[in-house]
Amino acid sequence: MNDPGSVTADSPQGTPTLEFDGTTPYEDYVHADVLTHLQQPLSDDPGEMAFLVTTQVMELWFALLVHEWRTARDALRTDDVDHAMDALHRSIAVHQALNESWRPIAALTPVQFNAYRGALGEASGFQSAVYRQMEFLLGDKSSSLLQPHRGHPRVHAELETALAEPCLYDAVLGYLHRQGLPVPREVLHRDVSGPYTADAGVEEVWRQIYAGPQHSPLVALGEALTDIGELVWRWRSDHLLATRRAMGARAGTGGSPGVAWLEKRAARPVFPELWTARSHV
């Protein structure tokens, strides 16, 4: 009888390969051993593991959103709307998964959170560099937000580049302009290193799009962006609720105002004219 461990995947039995000279091909591709050994709790509380894993999973989702939104932005800058829409639709599924990531820690009581809160020290999600790249791609930019990363040259350089590049919405508006829509010149030539602010002329562009044929590719683009904007809104609201539930109005671990700061973030819409134009269709 053959040793099952010596049977290869291309054998007649179809038995998977069980012997490898080194690590498994799965490990070489996914680096699962690295991922599952990144958790290093600093307290004795068993709940800290859920907080660490949840936060690390969120960081991976952030990175994937940055990848998809850059892909969409770059495709739109070359008028490749099909590839842009593919990336936007993938990002919607990713953002839905990101929002679901709150579940393991969304219902923490103050006592449960405080059991390991001290282990965080001055650490705060506000310091996430990849989340900052995500926000920059949404047009929420400020050079002061690079300050926490000056001690990490590579990360600081990446954020400087992201600050100087057009955001996703800049690429959208440039594409609409090339489709013959009256996007204001001052919007097309704005300083892209600063935050995007709502413009009445852009609102009128979206009003015209939505007042036209409902099966228009431009309406489909607007709806994909609206889905993203809604998911960002829900993410920020869920962050606010989870924080309020776990720590009330206490200051954040990184010295931020905590809930007060998150309330301001949650009230700020993404792609603002897509929301206000609906009042005029």
- Which of the four pLDDT bands, split at 50, 70 and 90, describes residue 3? very low
pLDDT at residue 255, as a whole number: 63
CB atoms inside a 10 Å sphere around CB 45: 18
**143-174 pLDDT, tens digit each:** 999 999 999 999 999 999 999 999 999 999 99
pLDDT at residue 105, as a whole number: 95
- Which of the four pLDDT bands, split at 50, 70 and 90, describes residue 13? low
Of the ranges 10-14, 29-33, 72-76, 89-93, which one carries the lowest mean pLDDT score?
A: 10-14
**166-213 pLDDT, tens digit each:** 999 999 999 999 999 999 999 999 999 999 999 999 999 999 999 999
Look at residue 109 and tell me if it is in a domain: yes
The residue behind tokens 């097309």 is 188
Provide the residue type at 127 as one letter: Q
Cα 129 from Cα 194, distance rounded (Å) = 18
* Token code pair at residue 33: 């051993």
| Alpha carbon of residue 12 to chain centroid | 46
pLDDT at residue 257, as a whole number: 65
User: With 50 as the cut, is the pLDDT of residue 50 above it?
Assistant: yes
Look at residue 167 and tell me if it is in a domain: yes
Number of structural domains (the chain) is: 1
Cα 210 from Cα 181, distance rounded (Å) = 13
Look at residue 19 and tell me if it is in a domain: no
CB atoms inside a 10 Å sphere around CB 8: 12
Look at residue 187 and tell me if it is in a domain: yes
Cα 121 from Cα 48, distance rounded (Å) = 14
- Which of the four pLDDT bands, split at 50, 70 and 90, describes residue 1? very low
Cα 198 from Cα 120, distance rounded (Å) = 37
Cα 177 from Cα 188, distance rounded (Å) = 8
Whole-number mean pLDDT of the chain?
A: 92
User: With 70 as the cut, is the pLDDT of residue 238 above it?
Assistant: yes
Which pTM does this prediction carry?
0.91
User: With 90 as the cut, is the pLDDT of residue 80 above it?
Assistant: yes
pLDDT at residue 5, as a whole number: 45
Contact 266, 233 (CB under 8 A): yes
Contact 57, 72 (CB under 8 A): no
Look at residue 30 and tell me if it is in a domain: no
User: With 70 as the cut, is the pLDDT of residue 2 above it?
Assistant: no
CATH number assigned to the domain comprising residue 249: 1.20.58.480
pLDDT at residue 252, as a whole number: 64
The residue behind tokens 């091909």 is 25
CA dihedral 252→272→179→68, nearest 10 degrees, is: 20
Look at residue 185 and tell me if it is in a domain: yes
Cα 281 from Cα 279, distance rounded (Å) = 6
Give the DSSP letter of residue 11: S
Look at residue 51 and tell me if it is in a domain: yes
Look at residue 76 and tell me if it is in a domain: yes
pLDDT at residue 253, as a whole number: 67
pLDDT at residue 124, as a whole number: 86
Burial of 230 (0-12, 13-18, 19+ CB in 10 A): middle
- Counting residues of the chain whose pLDDT is more than 90, the rounded percentage is 83
In the predicted model, what is the mean pLDDT of residues 83-102? 98
Domain span at residue 59 reads: 41-280
In the predicted model, what is the mean pLDDT of residues 3-15? 55
pLDDT at residue 125, as a whole number: 87
